[in-house]
Amino acid sequence: MSVRTEQSGQRVLVVGAGMAGVQTAVQLREQGWPGAITLIGAEPHRPYDRPPLSKALLLGKATGAAFDVDFGTLGIDLRLGHGATGLRPGDRVVDTDAGPLPYDHLVLATGAEPVRLPGAEDVPGVHLLRTLDDAERLRPVLAGQRDVVVVGAGWIGAEFATAAREAGCRVTVVEAAGRPLAGVLPPQVADHMRRWYAEAGAELRTGHAVTAVRPGGADSCAVELSDGSVLTAGAVVVGIGARPATGWLAGSGVALGGDGSVLADEYLRASVPGVYAVGDCASFPSARYGRRLLVHHWDNALQGPRTVASVLTVGEAETPPYDPVPYFWSEQFGRFVQYAGHHEDADELLWRGDPAGAAWSVCWLRDGVLNALLAVGRPRDIAQGRKLIEQSAVLDPVRAADPAVPLKRAVR
């Protein structure tokens, strides 16, 4: 029997109908998978993209974010409102709240879920921002120009604060660390972003942990801070990170990391035969960076599925290992912020341009090799930098520090 004939009798089951799950199904068809594909997702909505949720959609400037994919024409059996509850790899069965589903190959694409603020979940007026429903609930807050407290000055917190200011809300952002984006950028870089909040008219309170949130009376919330002060707001938006949505895999034998991610290998195979993992729910070993990476960004949810689809259709031998240069973007306070690569504290930091200005970049170098790049309003730096990182290019630090010199001309 030929490989294709054998595959045509097999079913790939994809669990999770976000970017990574949808891309897996689409890529399988594009790469010629002849067998059945079933895509299940817990949410009732037609699969949609998340980045617009904290941007245009929140402000009512976009009406939807659904992917432009014709599942029927592609022969993808899409089942919405189906949550996976367990996995029995020995039987090759996924249990769902609508009954068991058999598979020959299983792709885990359940994404991530937001970290909740303990004790605040049930307080009216406290919001998360992960799903379309979350964004729909937040739209009236912006339209009504309510006072808002944002907990967490990470990417989501900054984007929400941007939209809320644009809508005319009074915004206070509370951050437990001493600076915004503390988990991702070093102080020399992140300190410059403080000013962005002030310029947009948002108050940023760093070094303040939220100790409690309680109903504040008259349709408001009271947010208690570690210094004893209390903020009153019409709404509280919690943006303190996300964790892989893998709780349903407990007891299945699929190996998970301490961060909750499915421990995938360089072909995005999980520890159990026939099971793969893509997107926000999976970490993978990066030979490029010499460590395991868990990437919670859109481009990773786009790229990983190509690898899995290739492994399933043509096999590992003909598939390059998954080792991307991570990439993401953020739109905040009128700026387009992009990052490519991965840096460590020990890397040398090199500025391109004045961080007080509108457009600048930062390079991270190790032994002269470009490891990572952050660009604010300099998309050309990112376009060139991504390729240079891929090539492990060694930069001339003097030319690289000159923003007038195209980055690709700074290669030694």
Query: Closer to ligand FAD at the Cβ: 130 or 208?
Result: 130
Does 103 help bind ligand FAD (rule: CB under 6 A)? no
Query: Closer to ligand FAD at the Cβ: 248 or 360?
Result: 248
Does 319 help bind ligand FAD (rule: CB under 6 A)? no
Question: 316 and 351 in contact (C-beta within 8 Å)?
Answer: no
Does 21 help bind ligand FAD (rule: CB under 6 A)? yes
Q: Which DSSP state fits 394?
A: B
Helix (H) / strand (E) containing 389: helix 379-390
User: What's the CA gap between 111 and 297, in Å, rounded?
Assistant: 10
Q: What is the rounded radius of gyration, in angstroms, for the C-alpha atoms of the chain?
A: 22
Site for ligand FAD in 297-316 (CB under 6 A): 297-299, 301
Our separate counts of H helices and E strands in the chain read 8, 26
Q: How far is the CB of 42 from ligand FAD (least distance, A)?
A: 4
| Total chain residues near ligand FAD (CB under 6 A) | 36
User: What's the CA gap between 352 and 401, in Å, rounded?
Assistant: 5
Site for ligand FAD in 121-140 (CB under 6 A): 129-130
Residue of 189, 197, 223 lying closest to 209 (CA atoms):
223
Among 37, 78, 101, 109, binds ligand FAD (CB under 6 A): 109
Instruction: Point out which span in 146-154, 161-169, 201-209, 295-303 binds ligand FAD (CB under 6 A).
Output: 295-303
Does 41 help bind ligand FAD (rule: CB under 6 A)? yes
Among 12, 19, 149, 181, binds ligand FAD (CB under 6 A): 19
Query: Closer to ligand FAD at the Cβ: 7 or 332?
Result: 332
Query: Closer to ligand FAD at the Cβ: 216 or 341?
Result: 341
Residue of 51, 42, 237 lying closest to 128 (CA atoms):
237
Does 336 help bind ligand FAD (rule: CB under 6 A)? no
User: What's the CA gap between 408 and 412, in Å, rounded?
Assistant: 10
Question: 185 and 149 in contact (C-beta within 8 Å)?
Answer: no
User: What's the CA gap between 213 and 412, in Å, rounded?
Assistant: 54
Instruction: Point out which span in 109-117, 264-272, 346-354, 371-379 binds ligand FAD (CB under 6 A).
Output: 109-117
Query: Closer to ligand FAD at the Cβ: 54 or 313?
Result: 54
Does 181 help bind ligand FAD (rule: CB under 6 A)? no
Residue of 205, 246, 242, 248 lying closest to 227 (CA atoms):
205
Strands (E), 313-411: 327-332, 335-341, 348-352, 360-366, 369-376
Query: Closer to ligand FAD at the Cβ: 149 or 222?
Result: 149
Q: How far is the CB of 304 from ligand FAD (least distance, A)?
A: 8
Does 239 help bind ligand FAD (rule: CB under 6 A)? no
User: What's the CA gap between 25 and 312, in Å, rounded?
Assistant: 11
Does 15 help bind ligand FAD (rule: CB under 6 A)? yes
- Which residues form the interface with ligand FAD (CB under 6 A)? 15-21, 40-43, 50-51, 53-54, 83-84, 109-112, 129-130, 156, 245, 248, 279-280, 296-299, 301, 328-330
